[in-house]
Chains A and B, each alone.
Chain A
């Protein structure tokens, strides 16, 4: 089944403890991206990747890192999480950067205490 898989689904952590949220797609998509969704602010793009080893900042990249060493994986890294990074995170992918529908993962609810 074609899908975007995020793990974990729920995560509770403490301030400053490094964490990684994984994202994997099995559709051979070139484009992958990360978003956070907050009440009243909607969905905002964090980082995106147009292909392996090619990443760029979205609207809210501060406090986040990404890497794209393989086509199928695009992990989101929080080196030193803070409470303002408590949010619902989504990973998405599409065949190419613009002209294809985006496929979303089921989301990761992160709480930073």
Chain B
């Protein structure tokens, strides 16, 4: 069974700092990996999707990398802002016994201090 782990569970940084969030998964037979943002009391917003054949994706100040063979992904946030404060989750699609299941990590709660 696929397991997804995110470290750290919580992170507090001063505004302007660059930071890295980590995601690891146990089964490398994945189709893709997505990074999401969740604000309190709201649904998830997809930030970046990396196909299994890709190494990284970029959107604005966000850069996500994928190393499928080692079961790891990182989300790099440049020049952090207070508006980046949220919980960040990663999720992987994988095929288990012919099904297409999506497994989430438990998230990293980010606080950017002004």
Instruction: Tell me the bound Cα distance from A104 to B100 in angstroms.
Output: 18
Beyond A99-B31, A99-B51, whether A59 also contacts B103 by CB under 8 A is: yes
What is the interface residue range for chain A against chain B? Answer: 20 to 34
The answer to the question of B34 belonging to the interface, with a C-beta cut-off of 8 Å to chain A, is: yes
What is the interface residue range for chain B against chain A? Answer: 20 to 34
B93 nearest CB across to chain A (Å): 5
* Chain B residues packing against A (C-beta within 8 Å): 31-32, 34, 36, 41-46, 49, 51, 89, 91, 93, 99-107
Whether B101 pairs with A59 at a CB distance below 8 angstroms is yes
Tell me how many residue pairs across A and B have CB atoms closer than 8 Å: 60
The list of the 3 closest CB pairs from A to B, nearest first, reads A104-B43, A101-B46, A42-B106
The answer to the question of A50 belonging to the interface, with a C-beta cut-off of 8 Å to chain B, is: yes
Beyond contacts A4-B43, A98-B32, A105-B43: 7 other A-B pairs, Cβ-Cβ < 8 A, are: A43-B104, A48-B102, A50-B100, A59-B101, A59-B103, A92-B44, A100-B49
- Can you list 16 pairs linking A and B with CB atoms under 8 Å apart? A33-B102, A35-B104, A42-B89, A43-B89, A43-B104, A44-B104, A45-B101, A48-B101, A57-B99, A99-B32, A101-B34, A102-B34, A102-B102, A104-B43, A105-B43, A107-B41
Whether B99 pairs with A56 at a CB distance below 8 angstroms is yes
The answer to the question of A106 belonging to the interface, with a C-beta cut-off of 8 Å to chain B, is: yes
The answer to the question of A52 belonging to the interface, with a C-beta cut-off of 8 Å to chain B, is: no
Instruction: Tell me the bound Cα distance from A102 to B31 in angstroms.
Output: 14
Choose from A33, A42, A92, A105 the contact partner of B107 (Cβ within 8 Å): A42
